[in-house]
Structure 1
Amino acid sequence: MLDYPALRALAAVVREGSFERAAAALSITPSAVSQRVRALEERLGAILVVRGQPCRPTDLGRTLCAHVDRVRLLEADLGLAGEGASARSVLRVAVNADSLATWFPVALAGAGETLGATLDLVLDDEAHTAGRLRSGEVVAAVTASPEPVTGCRTVPLGSLRYAACASPAFAARFFGAGVDPRSLADAPQLRFDRRDGLQARWMAEAYGHVPDAPTHWVPSTHGFLDLALAGFAWGLQPVALAEAHLRAGRLVELPPGLRIAVPLFWTVARLPALSLRRLTQAVRRGAGLALGEAPPA
C-alpha cells in the first residue's frame, strides 16, 4: 500500500520546484516534507526526486506524481479533501503553442467556472504531446497523432491551417523575380524549433524540393508572427493569426498560395473524473467552432 501523504509531498516538491515551497503549499514544515519524501524513497529503494534548483523527478518519481494526480481527480468527485493546496484537483494537459495562441483559450473560456479543477498546461510540439501521455506526465493532450495511447481515447478536433507569409518589403527583396527553390535558398526562414517541419513540408509540396536556407529559430507563436511582420524572415503562420494582416497588406502570402492543414486530435485518459469530462466537452466544442470538426452531441 502506497503512503499517500508521502506521495502528495513528493508531488508538491515536483510541482513547486523546491521543498520549501512544497511545505508552504502543504501548510507543513520543510522538514516534514523532506522526511516524507525520504521515507518513500527508502521504502521503494529508489531516488524519486533530484534535489536542485528546481527539484526534478526521476522517471519513477514522475510516474508516482502522475498516479497521485489521478487519485486526486477521483477524490475530488467523491468530495474528499486532503491537506493544503495539494488537495486541489489539477488537470495537467499538453498543448502545442499554436493552439494555445489561437483557439484553445476560447475553448476554455466557457468552462472556467464549471471545471472544478485548475489547469497545469505543458507546452510541446503537437507531434510530441502524445509522448507526454504515454509517460503519464499529463492526463490529456492536443496532438497531431491519431495513434491510440493505452488507457486513453482519441477524438478528432479538426485542422489548424497555415499560410506561408512574409512582409511586402521582404517579399520584394527576396522574391521580386518569383518564388522558386533558388530564391527560397537565399531567403531567411523561421522555424519554431529543431522538430518543426512545416516550412520543409510546404516547400516540398509546392516545389518538390527543400533548399538549405538561412534559418532563425523562434520558439514563440507571437514572436514568429512579429518577426515576419518586421520583415525579418518568412514562415508558416497560423491562418487564424495571419488573416487580418494579409487583408490589411501587412503580410503577403507566398506563391503558389498553398496552405497546409495540420489535423489535431484530443487524447484523454479514461478516468471517470467529472472535471476531465467537462474539459473534454469544452475543448471539443471550441475546436468544432474554430477548426471545423463537428462538436459532440
Structure 2
Amino acid sequence: MNLEHLKALVAVIDEGTFEAAADLLRITPSAVSQRIKALETSVGRVLVRRRLPCTATDAGALLLRMARQVQVLEAETSAALGVGSSSRAHLPVAVNADSLATWFIPVLHRAAGWEDSALDLHVEDQGYSSQLLRDGAVMGAVTSDPVPVSGCRVELLGSMRYIPVATPGLRRRFSTSGSVDWAAMPVLKFNLKDTLQQQLLAAKSVPQLPPTHTVPSSQGFLAAVKAGLGWGMVPQLQLTGELADGALVPLEEDAHQDVALYWQAWALDSDRLTRIGAAVRRAAGDQLRAGDGREATGPSRAGYRRRK
C-alpha cells in the first residue's frame, strides 16, 4: 500500500472530487485517478464511489482510517526529526452541538496554542459519531455510546443535564389549575434526530406531538425558547441566568434528563491525540456532572440527543 496512494485516497474523500484532490496534492486529476486505481488494484476492491461528492466504500473506509493514522504518525515522526513540511496536521474530532456551545469551549482555547495542529470539528449526531470513527473520518469523538469502536479507547466524561423550560407567559397560556397542558403547548425540536421532547411527552401519555417548531442550532434553540416559540429541553449549562432572572421557568419541579457523554479515540500512540484527549477530559471534568454512565438512557441534541 503505497503512501502516496493512501494520501490520494484521503484527499479524494476529504475534498469530495478528484479535481479538488488534485489541487490539494498539486498533481493532475489524472494522476489522482491513477493512484486510486492502483490502490484498488492492490487490494482487489473498489474503494471510492465515483459520485458528487465521492465517498468511501466499506473497504475504502478501512483503508481511509489506516491512511489517516499513517499520516498522523508520519507528521509526528517528521516533526521529531526536524524534517519535512512545517504545515499543521489536521486533527479531526466529532462533537455534538450542545457540547460545542457549552463545556467544550475551553478545548478551543487550548487548541489555539497548538502550532502544529489544525482542529477540524465535525458537528454530528451521537448515533453517527461512532460511524465517523469506524470510517476514519475523525480521530476522536464526544459520544454517548459507551461501547468502544474497534481499535478505539473509550472513557466516561460525565453527564449533561437537560431541563424542560419555557417562558412564564407560555406556561401560563397552556396551564390549567397549575398543570401544564402538554398536548396543546407548542414544542421545539432541534432536528429529526432530536427525540428528547418526544420522550417526555410519551411519558406524559400525550398521544401525538403538539405544534412543533424545528430550530437546528444550539444558540438558536435557546433563543426560540426565550422568544416563547415553544418549550424545549435545554442543557443546564446553557441556562446561565435565565432561570434566576425569571426569563424562563421549569415546566416541572426537579424534571431533568441526564445524558452520559464519553470520549472515544483511536488507540494510537500519538502526541496530538493525547493532547486533544487531555484537553477534552479537563474541560469535561470542570463542567460536566459526575456520573457512572448508567443514568442516561435518553437522547442528546444536535447530535447527541439520541443514544445508540
Fold match (TM-score > 0.5): yes
Residue 186 of structure 2 is matched in structure 1 by 188
Deviation at 1:203, TM superposition (A): 4.4
Q: 1:29 to 1:88 in 2, by over 3 A?
A: farther
Distance across 1 between alignment mates of 2:136 and 2:10 = 13
Answer yes or no: is 1:213 the counterpart of 2:203. no
The aligned runs of 1:124-143 (5 Å cut-off) are 124-143=124-143
- Between stretches 266-275 and 55-64, larger displacement belongs to 55-64
Post-superposition offset of 1:265: 1.0
Within the alignment, does 1:69 sit opposite 2:78 as a pair?
no
Q: Displacement of 1:78 after TM fit?
A: 0.9
RMSD: 2.6
Equivalent position of 1:229 in the other structure: 226
Q: Distance in 2 between matches of 1:69 and 1:226?
A: 39
Shift of 1:150: 2.6
For 1:113, what is the secondary structure of its paired residue? coil
> Shift of the alpha carbon at 1:284?
0.5
Q: CA deviation at 1:171?
A: 1.6
The 3-state SS of whatever aligns with 2:61 is helix
Indicate conservation of the 8 Å contact 1:159/1:261, yes or no.
yes
Alignment of 1:102-113 (within 5 A): 102-113=102-113
| 2-structure distance, mates of 1:112, 1:220 | 24
Q: Which residue of 2 aligns with 1:39?
A: 38
- Cα shift at 1:60: 2.0
Asked if the contact 1:108–1:286 (Cα under 8 Å) also holds between the matched residues in 2, the reply is no
What is the CA–CA distance in structure 1 between the aligned matches of 2:85 and 2:174, rounded to whole Å? 59
User: How far apart are residue 191 of structure 1 and its match?
Assistant: 2.0
Letter of the structure 1 residue corresponding to residue 236 of structure 2: V
Given residue 8 of structure 1, which amino acid in structure 2 is its aligned partner?
K
Comparing 61-70 and 109-118, the one that deviates more: 109-118
Output the CA distance in 1 between the equivalents of 2:100 and 2:129: 13
Q: 1:115 to 1:61 in 2, by over 3 A?
A: farther
Alignment partners' CA distance in 1, 2:231 and 2:57: 40
Post-superposition shift, 1:48? 2.1
Is residue 2:178 matched to residue 1:160? Answer: no
What is the percentage of aligned positions where both structures have the same residue? 43
Verify: 1:275 aligned to 2:287, yes or no. Answer: no
- Per-residue CA deviations over 1:8-58 (Å, capped at 9, x if unaligned) read 112111111222221221122222222212332333333322233322222
| 2:114 partner amino acid | T
Q: Give the TM-score taking structure 2 as reference length.
A: 0.83
Equivalent runs, 1:91-102 vs 2, <5 Å: 91-102=91-102
The 1:274–1:83 alpha-carbon spacing in structure 2 relative to 1, beyond 3 Å, is closer
Secondary structure at the aligned position of 2:165 is classed as strand
Structure 1: state its 5+ residue gaps. none
Tell me which of 253, 262, 265 is aligned to 2:262: 265
Shift of 1:253: 1.6
Counterpart among 280, 283, 286 of residue 286 in structure 1: 283
1:235 offset after TM fit, Å? 0.6
Structure 1 residue 211 displacement after superposition: 4.0
Task: Report the CA distance between 1:177 and its aligned residue.
Answer: 4.0
